[in-house]
A and B are shown apart, each in its own frame.
Chain A
Amino acid sequence: MFEGVPLTWFLITGTIMFFVGIYGFLVRKNLITILMSTELILNSVNINFVAFNKILYPGHLEGMFFTIFIIAVAAAEASVAIAIIINIYRRLVSINVEKMDEMKY
């Protein structure tokens, strides 16, 4: 309970955000929207970390640091992913994930 807001509320919000992200990952065709879905997933995890940190272990900072690192990794990931997307676009003139099946069987 954090000043009237129970932990479970945060967790449920995170969960919903997470699965919405997964849904996006599974159905969107555009690579950039898939990238956005991953950002959603990462954020939902961040919320959980922060909430656990604050409510269960208020004297500690591990959750926060994890969040910081996740944000850093997400930034790195986003930059590389976008570089790849641009490269793919140059080659295929499309960023439709369904067309990227050159390495199938």
Chain B
Amino acid sequence: MIDFSYTALILLIPLFLFVLVGLFGNRFKPLVSGVIGTSGLFVIWVLSLFTAYKYFFVLEKATDGSFQKLLAVNTVWLHLTDKLHIDMGVLLDPISVMMLIVITTVSLMVHLYSIGYMHGEKGFQRFFAMLSLFSFSMLGLVVATNIFQMYIFWELVGVSSYLLIGFYYTRDTAVAASKKAFIVTRFADLGFLIGILILSYTTGTFDFITLTGSSSPAFSSGQGVWFLGLSTMTWSMIFIFMGGAGKSAMFPLHIWLPDAMEGPTPVSALIHAATMVVAGVYLVARMFPIYIHETAALDIVAWVGAFTSLFAAVIACTQFDIKRVLAYSTMSQIGYMMLALGVSGYGGHEGLGYMASMFHLFTHAFFKALLFLGAGAIIHAVHSNYMNEMGGLRKYLPITHITFLIACLAIAGIPPFAGFFSKDEILVAAFHHNKVLFAMEYAVAGLTAFYMFRLYYSVFWRKEVHYHHTPHEAPATMTIPLIFLALGSTFTGFIPFTKLVTSDGLPFEIHTEWGIAIPSILIAVVGIAVATVFYRKENNIATRLARSMGGFYTAAYHKFYIDEVYLFITKRIIFNYISRPIAWFDRHIVDGTMNGVSYVTNEASFRIRKFQSGQLQQYAIVFVSGTIFLALLFIYLWTN
């Protein structure tokens, strides 16, 4: 048995960094706090890699040959009843160890990158403090031993996301975006909380190991029909998925993610591409043994994921802000992961979707972080977010160009880059489950290739734009993470996930189903080819096509008016018919009562105070009269 209790350090180091840089950051030179944060992250990165090595290759397997679920650290934090208590600790199992690697790697790269990217920004230290806070909360989330700890860190992640989106708090759009992100995810978290309460109420435990074990109370209790034909447990899973959908920007709770791009680009790479937004996927994966019993909830996961991936891919084709394109691409890819979970079975080859989802999560973290960091380098060079103000950048930014291309190929699913393998597994899983979903995902694969290469060509080829300042390559602190992540995007696809991260912890064999893989490669190639025709050289094919599509294009360009629908619902309906009466009630009835009480008290005391005249003899005569009266009372009236 290996002692894993040092994993507590993985949580404590970023927390310490947050406190250190947050409280004393302004005493340091900006660069110093950046270096402190980065080196701290480097330490936990090494620790995570070490943990992963120990966990996967050294630690002995459980009796049935699967990976153990291991409580590395555990303390009782809140003692509610003898059975129900909230713990804090570190849970190691394949997915949490995998997430440790993803988070620390991307976070380390982003830290390093930020030293260059944020150079000279006001609030440099604050930025690094918040990055540390985020790393702490995200790591706490993935190693949570129980669902309540997860919820706590889930909210902490939301807070740090809010803080980082609103990093440029002098900009109105950033403030609005941070509020939007916070409120939307908060609303979704309400569902999560309700789900947790139902779950813990029916099963009497928060603990993941108990809940997802083979004799989980979740399988036996709360099975009766409760509401709308679904059982209590199904409802709790649906509510929990609502939390996950909010965090992972699933339709219809996705509206915050594109706006969250107001934050600094490294933040978008870390939080809104690689780590936080996949928390929803991770949540479903974490609860997967329960979901597999609640097929209705799992179908919802699948369909929401599939719809979101298609929906977001369509919007991504019409956007011009490169970060927004990437944001919609993120949504689309997370939709893939959700879908993969939704179509997965449990155990062995049945659990292919689960494995594929985690695999895609892993590879996606690399190439999507790379895309965002590359976009950051582009923005850094050009000082614009809009692709129609760019063009021909391949000459100025060679490293960025190559790495960006690798990322595009990876996300498009071209072998041998990482995205191909993971996406292929997802498609296979979908094919075996439901042909409609499979067809949707095929379409999304083509769209993905199309919009990524649209972006790529618009930025690096297309036309020669005359820039005010000649764009120059980013400094080494920014290019090193790009190169590292490009390597990751190229090679992570060869990691044998079927041996490591599976639904039941047991390894299984897969063979590439070329019948599915080759068409998907072809579709991606077609997408790339169309993008090449449209965007490689300056021409008006795309514009004409857009015009010929008419209303559909406009709708997609306006993100299918989802924001407007939300605004209509909140402003027109909720504000007018719910909030306003409540406000009236509060102002007139609640406040009125309080004001009335205070008014009466005030008036009464104003009248009563005359009694305290300061005239000694008035007091004296009252006292004497009182005494005489009492004497009278006791002598004549009290006798019996």
Number of A residues contacting the other chain (C-beta, 8 Å)? 12
Q: Which residues of B contact A105 (CB under 8 A)?
A: 609-610, 612-614
Q: Which residue of B lies closest to A31 (CB)?
A: B616
Contact in complex: B614, A101 (CB < 8 Å): yes
Partner of B614, one of A25, A26, A104: A104
Contact in complex: A25, B620 (CB < 8 Å): yes
Q: Which residue of A lies closest to B624 (CB)?
A: A22
Q: Which residues of A contact B543 (CB under 8 A)?
A: none
Residue A103 at the B interface, CB < 8 A?
A: yes
Q: Which residue of A lies closest to B611 (CB)?
A: A105
Residue B170 at the A interface, CB < 8 A?
A: no
Q: Which residues of B contact A100 (CB under 8 A)?
A: 614, 616
Contact in complex: B620, A98 (CB < 8 Å): no
Residue B617 at the A interface, CB < 8 A?
A: yes
Contact in complex: A26, B621 (CB < 8 Å): yes
Contact in complex: A102, B624 (CB < 8 Å): no
Q: Which residues of B contact A25 (CB under 8 A)?
A: 617, 620
**Closest Cβ of chain A: how far from B605's Cβ, in Å?**
9
Contact in complex: A26, B612 (CB < 8 Å): no
Residue A97 at the B interface, CB < 8 A?
A: yes
Q: Given the complex of chains A and B, what is the CA–CA distance between A101 and B612 in angstroms?
A: 9
Q: Which residues of A contact B639 (CB under 8 A)?
A: none
Q: Which residue of B lies closest to A101 (CB)?
A: B614
Q: Given the complex of chains A and B, what is the CA–CA distance between A105 and B612 in angstroms?
A: 6
Contact in complex: A26, B613 (CB < 8 Å): no
**Closest Cβ of chain A: how far from B436's Cβ, in Å?**
82
Q: Given the complex of chains A and B, what is the CA–CA distance between A33 and B624 in angstroms?
A: 18
Contact in complex: B624, A103 (CB < 8 Å): no
Contact with A along B607-639 (1 / 0, CB 8 A): 001101111110011001000000000000000
Q: Among residues 20 to 41 in chain A, which have CB atoms less than 8 Å away from a CB atom of chain B?
A: 22, 25-27
Contact in complex: A26, B624 (CB < 8 Å): yes
Q: Which residue of B lies closest to A28 (CB)?
A: B617
Q: Which residues of A contact B614 (CB under 8 A)?
A: 100-105
Q: Which residue of A lies closest to B612 (CB)?
A: A105
Contact in complex: B624, A104 (CB < 8 Å): no
Contact with B along A67-105 (1 / 0, CB 8 A): 000000000000000000000000000000110111111
Contact in complex: A97, B616 (CB < 8 Å): yes
Q: Which residue of B lies closest to A103 (CB)?
A: B614
Q: Which residues of B contact A26 (CB under 8 A)?
A: 617, 620-621, 624
Q: Which residue of B lies closest to A27 (CB)?
A: B617
Tier of interface size on chain B: 10 to 19
Partner of A104, one of B613, B617, B620: B613
Q: Which residues of A contact B615 (CB under 8 A)?
A: 97-98, 101, 104
Q: Which residues of A contact B621 (CB under 8 A)?
A: 26
Q: Given the complex of chains A and B, what is the CA–CA distance between A25 and B617 in angstroms?
A: 7
**Closest Cβ of chain A: how far from B622's Cβ, in Å?**
10
Q: Which residues of B contact A101 (CB under 8 A)?
A: 613-615
**Closest Cβ of chain A: how far from B454's Cβ, in Å?**
80
Q: Given the complex of chains A and B, what is the CA–CA distance between A37 and B610 in angstroms?
A: 27
Q: Given the complex of chains A and B, what is the CA–CA distance between A27 and B616 in angstroms?
A: 11
**Closest Cβ of chain B: how far from A99's Cβ, in Å?**
9
A22-B624, A26-B621 known; A104+B616 contact, CB < 8 A: no
Q: Which residues of B contact A102 (CB under 8 A)?
A: 614
Q: Which residues of B contact A104 (CB under 8 A)?
A: 612-615
Q: Given the complex of chains A and B, what is the CA–CA distance between A27 and B614 in angstroms?
A: 15
Q: Which residue of B lies closest to A23 (CB)?
A: B624
**Closest Cβ of chain B: how far from A34's Cβ, in Å?**
8
Q: Among residues 126 to 165 in chain B, which have CB atoms less than 8 Å away from a CB atom of chain A?
A: none
Contact with B along A10-22 (1 / 0, CB 8 A): 0000000000001
Contact in complex: B613, A97 (CB < 8 Å): no
Q: Which residue of A lies closest to B627 (CB)?
A: A22
Q: Given the complex of chains A and B, what is the CA–CA distance between A22 and B621 in angstroms?
A: 9
Q: Given the complex of chains A and B, what is the CA–CA distance between A44 and B614 in angstroms?
A: 29
Q: Which residues of A contact B617 (CB under 8 A)?
A: 25-27, 97-98
Q: Which residues of A contact B612 (CB under 8 A)?
A: 104-105
**Closest Cβ of chain A: how far from B141's Cβ, in Å?**
61
Q: Which residue of A lies closest to B613 (CB)?
A: A104
Q: Which residues of A contact B624 (CB under 8 A)?
A: 22, 26
**Closest Cβ of chain B: how far from A77's Cβ, in Å?**
16
**Closest Cβ of chain A: how far from B108's Cβ, in Å?**
70
Contact with A along B568-611 (1 / 0, CB 8 A): 00000000000000000000000000000000000000000110
Q: Given the complex of chains A and B, what is the CA–CA distance between A24 and B620 in angstroms?
A: 11
Q: Which residues of A contact B610 (CB under 8 A)?
A: 105
**Closest Cβ of chain A: how far from B216's Cβ, in Å?**
71
**Closest Cβ of chain A: how far from B201's Cβ, in Å?**
57
Q: Which residues of B contact A97 (CB under 8 A)?
A: 615-617
**Closest Cβ of chain B: how far from A25's Cβ, in Å?**
6
Q: Given the complex of chains A and B, what is the CA–CA distance between A98 and B620 in angstroms?
A: 13
Q: Which residue of A lies closest to B616 (CB)?
A: A97
**Closest Cβ of chain B: how far from A56's Cβ, in Å?**
20
Contact with A along B536-574 (1 / 0, CB 8 A): 000000000000000000000000000000000000000
Q: Given the complex of chains A and B, what is the CA–CA distance between A105 and B605 in angstroms?
A: 10
Q: Given the complex of chains A and B, what is the CA–CA distance between A97 and B613 in angstroms?
A: 12
**Closest Cβ of chain A: how far from B17's Cβ, in Å?**
59
Q: Which residues of B contact A98 (CB under 8 A)?
A: 615, 617
Q: Which residue of B lies closest to A19 (CB)?
A: B624
**Closest Cβ of chain B: how far from A103's Cβ, in Å?**
6
Q: Which residues of B contact A103 (CB under 8 A)?
A: 614
Q: Given the complex of chains A and B, what is the CA–CA distance between A27 and B620 in angstroms?
A: 10
Q: Given the complex of chains A and B, what is the CA–CA distance between A5 and B19 in angstroms?
A: 94
Q: Given the complex of chains A and B, what is the CA–CA distance between A27 and B618 in angstroms?
A: 10
Q: Given the complex of chains A and B, what is the CA–CA distance between A98 and B617 in angstroms?
A: 8
Q: Which residues of A contact B609 (CB under 8 A)?
A: 105
**Closest Cβ of chain A: how far from B630's Cβ, in Å?**
15
Q: Which residues of B contact A27 (CB under 8 A)?
A: 617
Q: Given the complex of chains A and B, what is the CA–CA distance between A101 and B282 in angstroms?
A: 76
Q: Given the complex of chains A and B, what is the CA–CA distance between A55 and B18 in angstroms?
A: 90
Q: Given the complex of chains A and B, what is the CA–CA distance between A100 and B613 in angstroms?
A: 10
Q: Which residue of B lies closest to A105 (CB)?
A: B609
* Top 3 A-B pairs, shortest CB-CB distance: A101-B614, A104-B614, A105-B609
Q: Which residues of A contact B (CB under 8 A)?
A: 22, 25-27, 97-98, 100-105
Q: List 26 A-B contacts (CB under 8 A).
A: A22-B624, A25-B617, A25-B620, A26-B617, A26-B620, A26-B621, A27-B617, A97-B615, A97-B617, A98-B615, A98-B617, A100-B616, A101-B613, A101-B614, A101-B615, A102-B614, A103-B614, A104-B612, A104-B613, A104-B614, A104-B615, A105-B609, A105-B610, A105-B612, A105-B613, A105-B614
Name 16 extra pairs, CB < 8 A, besides A97-B615, A105-B609: A25-B617, A26-B617, A26-B620, A26-B621, A97-B617, A98-B617, A100-B614, A100-B616, A101-B615, A102-B614, A104-B613, A104-B614, A104-B615, A105-B612, A105-B613, A105-B614
